[in-house]
Amino acid sequence: MKERKVLLSTCVKNSLERYFHDLNGEKTTDVYDMVMTEVERPLLEIVMRHVKSNQCRAAELLGINRNTLRKKLKQYKLN
């Protein structure tokens, strides 16, 4: 059986198309912030689990400063 890979961008695109369809003409705002929050929290959760809560390793893996990581962990109450 051939394995089918689905790109993250495809998943995001499909989710956004479904989101706008489900709005059924209702007005919405702050879509950018909503999407970033919906993606960032699980990203941080999975990375922190992967590195066994080692913030130095997580920051390096994510390519961000450790202080930025700490701020984001606090923001999402993941620390």
pLDDT by residue for the chain (79 residues), tens only, comes to 677 788 989 999 999 999 999 999 999 999 999 999 999 999 999 999 999 999 999 999 999 999 999 999 999 999 8
**6 in any annotated domain:** no
In a domain, 20, yes or no: no
Residue 18, domain member (yes or no): no
* Residue-level pLDDT at 1: 66
Domain of 57, CATH number, reads: 1.10.10.60
3-state helix, strand, coil split of the chain in percent (to 5) is 70, 0, 30
The predicted pLDDT at position 5 comes to 81
Q: Is there a domain that residue 45 lies in? A: yes
Write down the pLDDT at residue 4. Answer: 77
* Domain region containing 51: 29-78
pTM > 0.85: yes or no: no
Q: What is the pLDDT of residue 79?
A: 84
Half-sphere exposure of 65 toward its Cβ, with a 13 Å CA cutoff?
3
